[in-house]
Structure formats: C-alpha cells, structure tokens
Structure 1
C-alpha cells in the first residue's frame, strides 16, 4: 500500500444562499465534512483543491470558470488514530491548506467517495462537522446569510 502524504487541502463549498455543502463519509457515517484530500507527489495545494473538488463532487471548477479561493491558512492537527495506518509509520500530524469555493446550488453533484451530501445552513454545518479545523474554516470563510 502506498502511504498518503500528511499534507492535505480542505475546500469548503457554499452556495448563493450561504449554505454549506456537507459530505457524509463512507467509512464513518457519523462523520460529515467538506471536500478534503491529500496532496499527491509534486502537486501544489491549489492543484489538490481543484482535483479533490472534481473527484468528490464531480464539479469541474476550472471548466466552469470558478475560482477556488486560497485563504493562505494552514492548520496542523493530529490524525485520527483509526486513519494513521494510511500514513508513513510514526506520522501523527497532518498539515491542511484551507480553501473555499462558491458554487450555484443548481450545480449537479456526483458523489464518488461519500454516502450522501446535504446543503445546510452555516449554523447547522458548524454543529454537524466533525473536524474542528473544518468548523473553523466554515466559520471564517462562509459569508453569513443576509
């Protein structure tokens, strides 16, 4: 098995109504998250962000002329014990680069790596997201509803 690089991109998607797209993990149905994924060898974080949005939602942001916002924010967090086996032995921390993307709620979503998705209010997202860094990103980078 090839190990994952302990560096990832987190992309918070939100729509014109300031609702946040939540994705339910296949390997833990209680775990809701935004788009996220590890950097591949030689890949820049922004490239990972575009790739992961496409892989996890089917949204080809570049083709649609959508710009992913790089917030130039990095989080360092402890990798969940149950997932540490995916990383090189002794790896306990991950570095996460934070991005956001505004998309129309009419944009079709095609899941490949998650059980289901939901568009929810910012407040509900903050309650349901498992990861503290994901909650912080939603809090900081998703506009409040008018």
Structure 2
C-alpha cells in the first residue's frame, strides 16, 4: 500500500488502583529520543484504523482497546517525516492526528523501531518527551482523564 499524507501519534495509558494515571513512552532505536507511538497512514485506511494498526505493530496493543481521539493535531514537515517530497513539490506539511489508548496491563511488546519503553507519570513524561506535539497531546490526554475522574 502507498503511504498516505498524514501521521498518527498514540499515547498508551493505564489507570492504577489508586486512580493514578501512567503513560507509556517509547525510546526510538536509532535517534534515541522518547515519544509516543508514531507512524504513517496507508492509502484507503481511516485515521483511527491507522492508529490501531500502528499501536498493534509497535506495542502489541489490541485493536479493541478504548481509544480517545484528541483535539491535538500538529503540522509536520514532509521532509522530517519521510525524508523527501513524497507527495509532490507542493505538499510541505502533513497533519499528525493524536490519540490516547487505555490498556489493560503494563506489559507491552516492543518493535524494532524502539529499544525500550517506560511507564511514567505526567510530570516525568513532559520532561522526557522531545517533540512539542507530543507534549501538547499528553497534556490534553492527561487533562481529559483527570476531568473524567472528577465526574
């Protein structure tokens, strides 16, 4: 399948018995920085289908888990994502759509794209994340989950 001109970012989370929320961050194998699960869409695939496929491929997260589509959506340069003007000379920026996914346990698989993952609280996640888009997405996800706990 051909690569579609968008990216997804997925942040796995788990609710602990004490109502504390923990987030899974992944360290990239080559670059060494921390981020959520990120990947590109394939033509004919919906954005949520892409998110579910990427989460399964990179962390073994089953597709029937609870996904939250976030309002966070960033623009990423085509060259920084795919290394070239893959979709023509006039396509400079592609959107990055963000999701949270609730998982049942902390045991995730790890693909060759990452060398490790770590469960952290929100404050530690903000310190570890490289990309501002990841920081914005995890802030939104954390706020949504905290407000949900208040209901």
- Post-superposition CA distance 1:27-60 (Å, at most 9, x none): 201x111011101011100000110110010111
Partner of 1:25: 28
Please tell me the root mean square deviation across aligned C-alpha atoms, in Å: 2.4
Deviation beyond 6 Å, 4+ runs, structure 1: none
- Post-superposition CA distance 1:109-135 (Å, at most 9, x none): 111121000001101111111111110
Structure 1, unmatched stretches of 5+, are none
CA 1:86/1:14 → structure 2, altered by over 3 Å: closer, same or farther? farther
Q: In proportion to residue count, which structure has more strand?
A: 2
CA 1:72/1:139 → structure 2, altered by over 3 Å: closer, same or farther? closer
SS of residue paired to 1:125: helix
Rg (Cα) greater in structure: 2
Q: In proportion to residue count, which structure has more helix?
A: 2
Partner of 2:117: 117
95-104 vs 72-81, which deviates more? 72-81
**Aligned to 2:51, which of 20, 30, 49?**
49
- How many residue pairs were aligned? 139
Q: In 2, Cα distance between the equivalents of 1:70 and 1:44?
A: 13
Q: In 2, Cα distance between the equivalents of 1:76 and 1:82?
A: 11
TM-score by length of 1: 0.82
Residues 1:130 and 2:133 are matched in the alignment = no
TM-score by length of 2: 0.79
Answer yes or no: is the 8 Å Cα contact 1:69–1:101 preserved in 2: yes
Task: Name the structure, 1 or 2, with higher relative contact order (CA <8 Å, separation 6+).
Answer: 1
**Aligned to 2:36, which of 30, 34, 37?**
34
Q: In 2, Cα distance between the equivalents of 1:109 and 1:13?
A: 10
**CA deviation after TM superposition for structure 1 residue 80, in Å:** 6.2
Partner of 2:7: 8
